[in-house]
Structure 1
Amino acid sequence: MDRFKELQEAKTAAQEVVARIDNAIASLDSAADWGIFDLFGGGMFSSFMKRDKIKDANDDLKEISDSLRILNQELEDVNMHLPETVSDTVCDNALDIWFDNVFTDARVQKEIKTELERLKEFRASVVKLIERLTIEMETGR
């Protein structure tokens, strides 16, 4: 297979990763918004909505992982790591929803913000990869 086609396939795979990261960022942004509401006394409903958005973000992260696997197949020398999933255990759900308190809400909110930053950094590294691939495709080097 010629080099240009390999680069194009890698670029397409990287663009898919970015699209999936954007979905995860949107889910975590929504979880953060619900988390703020929850911190200021939103109650069980806001805890439930926040957890639903965290679940959506974790689903998005799985899709990122699947897309990254394809990208790594296309460009084996790319060494990137996915952010860890946001905690969504049964224990966390029970604590956050049924024993709704400011301490649990604050911890979960901090986790959401940390994961948002990691995703944004990861997205930036994939965008840089796309830029490098584009330059190589245009210049042939």
Structure 2
Amino acid sequence: MNKSDARELDEAIAAGEDALASLEEARKTLKSASNWGLADIFGGGFITTAIKHSRIDDARDQIEQARRDLVRFSSELKDVRNLNLPDIEIDGFLSLADYLFDGAVADVLVQSRIQDALDQVNVAKARVEEIVATLKEQCR
């Protein structure tokens, strides 16, 4: 492996590790939102709902950062084009409905969306971990 190839490989690994860090932050925040969501389902009130949505908003920001990191990682891996970027869009109506109609149906719908986002982040994280491990093997 020549110096240029080694440098490109190092850059790809660094970009992958940045993406992993961003995805892990999003995963932790979504897990927190999920925990608050469960509390909301089982008798939470307005404060529980507000905290849950604060965590959801934080997770959206973290997922946007992860998305940027994944795009950078993907561009470093010109030969890897099947990297599925996670998508999190919790319907604004559900958020509004959760505040206005703080009842079991809205809470369960929002909880389902949180879990879907968490699943997507976990899948993306596993894929990036796999690719980074392969890149590190190529360095040896």
TM-score, with length taken from structure 2: 0.92
- Pick one of 125, 128, 131 that aligns with 1:129: 131
Verify the 8 A CA contact 2:95 2:110 in the aligned structure 1. no
> What residue number does 1:87 align with?
90
The AA in structure 2 aligned to 1:81 is: N
Structure 1 residue 77, shift from structure 2 partner: 2.0
Q: What's the secondary structure of 1:119's corresponding residue? A: helix
How many residues align structurally? 137
Cross-structure match for 2:5: 3
Whole-angstrom distance in 1 between the partners of 2:91 and 2:53? 7
Asked if 2 retains the 8 angstrom alpha-carbon contact of 1:11 and 1:134, the reply is yes
Instruction: Determine the C-alpha separation between the residues in 1 that align with 2:128 and 2:98.
Output: 34
SS in 1 for 2:78: coil
- Runs of 5+ consecutive residues of structure 2 not aligned to the other structure: none
CA distance in structure 2 between the partners assigned to 1:106 and 1:94 by the alignment: 14
Q: What letter is aligned with 1:27?
A: T
C-alpha separation in 2, matches of 1:25 and 1:54: 11
- Is the partner of 2:87 in helix, strand or coil? coil
Question: What is the identity percentage for the equivalent residue pairs of Structure 1 and Structure 2?
Answer: 31
Q: For residues 67-106 of structure 1, what are the structure 2 equivalents within 5 Å? A: 67-78=69-80, 79-89=82-92, 91-106=93-108
Structure 2 contact 19–70 (Cα < 8 Å) conserved: yes
CA RMSD of the aligned region, Å?
A: 1.2
1:31-76 Cα offsets, whole Å, 9 max, x none, are: 0010011001111111111111011111011001111121122111
Matched to 2:97, the amino acid is: L
* 1:1-141 equivalences in 2 (<5 Å): 2-78=4-80, 79-89=82-92, 91-138=93-140
Conserved in 2, the CA contact under 8 Å of 1:55 and 1:88? no
Q: Distance in 2 between matches of 1:45 and 1:82?
A: 32
Stretches of structure 1 that go unaligned for 5 or more consecutive residues are: none
**Paired letter, 2:69:** S
